[in-house]
Amino acid sequence: MIELRNAQMFDAMFSVSPVLTQIPFRAQREGKESSFQNEQGEIRKIDYQRKSVTIQRKTEDARGMTLEQFIETAREPGTGMGKEMMRTLFQVLDAATKETGNVVNAGGKPISIDLFLGLLEKIQIDFTPDGNPIWPSFHAGSEMHAQFQRLFPECVNGG
């Protein structure tokens, strides 16, 4: 049951966003600090922050629980942790883009082709050995997503 619970928690955590499955990680077995070297050659300290999700369950609540109910209770903290990880990820990305000057601000105006092209100019796009671009993931809120859906058919069709 413990293995099933753990598997469901991690599955739920990674199901919050496909981005979470793409982030490489390495286990750190000792020590309380670490660092990395950025593309400019600077050594940057990693600021570890404890994250937790609190779920309270009474053992008597588990009596008579179906397997589906057990799985759902196992998934709840995983989903909460996945959301917390995404919140932290976007905070770190926001700080990094501000620090590097790569923020694109529409000033409250709707997205436009020029604004989107300006955004693309600030992104490093890698290429495969045969010259095909490896496109990054783009993430936007629901309002911005709707604007992109209206904009791109115009771009493709020469509008």
From CA 103, how far away is CA 96, in angstroms rounded?
A: 9
Return the SS3 of 44: strand
**pLDDT tens-digit series, residues 117-149:** 888 888 888 999 999 999 887 777 788 888 888
Which range marks the domain in which residue 86 is found? 2-100
Token couple for 5: 């619970």
Token couple for 6: 């753990």
**pLDDT tens-digit series, residues 32-83:** 888 888 778 889 888 888 888 988 888 777 788 888 988 888 899 999 999 9
Q: Are residues 9 and 67 in the same domain?
A: yes
Q: Is 107 domain-assigned?
A: no
Q: Are 151 and 111 in contact (CB under 8 A)?
A: yes
Q: Are 4 and 71 in contact (CB under 8 A)?
A: yes
Q: Are residues 95 and 60 in the same domain?
A: yes
Q: Are 93 and 99 in contact (CB under 8 A)?
A: no
Q: Are residues 126 and 96 in the same domain?
A: no
**pTM (predicted TM-score):** 0.71
Q: Is 106 domain-assigned?
A: no
What domain count does the chain have?
Answer: 2
